[in-house]
Amino acid sequence: MARPRLGWLGPILVGIGLAVGAWGAWFMVHARPVAGAEIDRIAIDDRHALVVREEAGGDRAFLELRNDDTVVWQALVPRYAGRRGAPGIAWSPTAVSVRVIRDGHAELFALSMHDASKLGGMRLAPDHGPIAAAADGPVTLTDHARSYEIVAGPDWHQLVAIDLASGHALWARELGPAPVRAGGVSGEQVWIDQGAGPHGYAVRTGTDSGAPRTVPGETHSPL
């Protein structure tokens, strides 16, 4: 059965501060760069996990899909923007997105969950200057239908929602200069803890939805 065609390479929604960015070369497991130490791990289910490894002797990263101790696929990406406790990964049954940093800006790369083939990528917050690469707080939130990307600069923050199936940007919200302390997804609401306290946004439209109604917990779906 043919793998479904995704829209990561197609046009994204206009007017919300995103642009299609260039993406670099992707390499599979036999490429010359060598994977080093593990720097992040995101469980998918009891057996599968997405693992991020540093590039030995370099500043890029390897993203792996693992089935127990078996590497299903491996791809080389630019510098990883996430960290333990604040992942830069979102996934659905068909696609994986990974937050990376290139030339001082935040970008989103996308791979096929099936075989790590390149689906595309985009630059986040192109209307802003360079990001604060060492910013505290969350990087990527997800409900496995969409990713919610928190992009931080020296005096600005932006929240961007991306549809994982199509690769289309759905909406963006300017969050202002206050540091983002935490965030999560609960039902139809994505929430950001910033400034005076947590505030929620509708996952499909980005409209204000008030304070979070519940303390969210992330759930995982099998491949």
Q: Which of the four pLDDT bands, split at 50, 70 and 90, describes residue 194?
A: very high
Q: Which of the four pLDDT bands, split at 50, 70 and 90, describes residue 73?
A: very high
Q: Looking at residue 159, what is its pLDDT? A: 98
Q: Looking at residue 13, what is its pLDDT? A: 34
Report the top-level CATH class of 35-210: mainly beta
Alpha carbon distance 57, 194 (integer Å): 37
Q: Which of the four pLDDT bands, split at 50, 70 and 90, describes residue 212?
A: confident
Q: Looking at residue 8, what is its pLDDT? A: 56
DSSP structural state of residue 178: S
Q: Which of the four pLDDT bands, split at 50, 70 and 90, describes residue 211?
A: confident
Tens-digit pLDDT profile for residues 120-159: 899 999 999 999 877 889 999 999 999 999 999 999 999 9
* Residues 131, 108 contacting (CB under 8 angstroms): no
Q: Looking at residue 214, what is its pLDDT? A: 63
Residues 98-110: what's their mean pLDDT? 95
- Residue 186 pLDDT > 50: yes
Strands 35-43 and 61-67: unpaired
- In Å, how far from its chain's centre is CA 220? 16
Dump the DSSP string for 100-150. EEETTEEEEEEEETTT--EEEEEES-TTS----TT--S-SEEE-SSEEEEE
Flag whether the pTM goes above 0.85: no
Question: How many beta carbons lie within 10 A of that of residue 56, not counting itself?
Answer: 11
Tens-digit pLDDT profile for residues 2-56: 444 445 544 333 333 443 333 444 444 444 789 999 999 999 999 999 999 999 9
Q: Which residues pair with 105 in a beta bridge?
A: 102
Looking at per-residue confidence, does 77 or 133 come out higher? Answer: 77
DSSP structural state of residue 5: P
Residues 111-117: what's their mean pLDDT? 95
Domain boundaries, the chain: 35-210
Q: Looking at residue 3, what is its pLDDT? A: 42
Residues 87-99: what's their mean pLDDT? 97
Q: Looking at residue 32, what is its pLDDT? A: 78
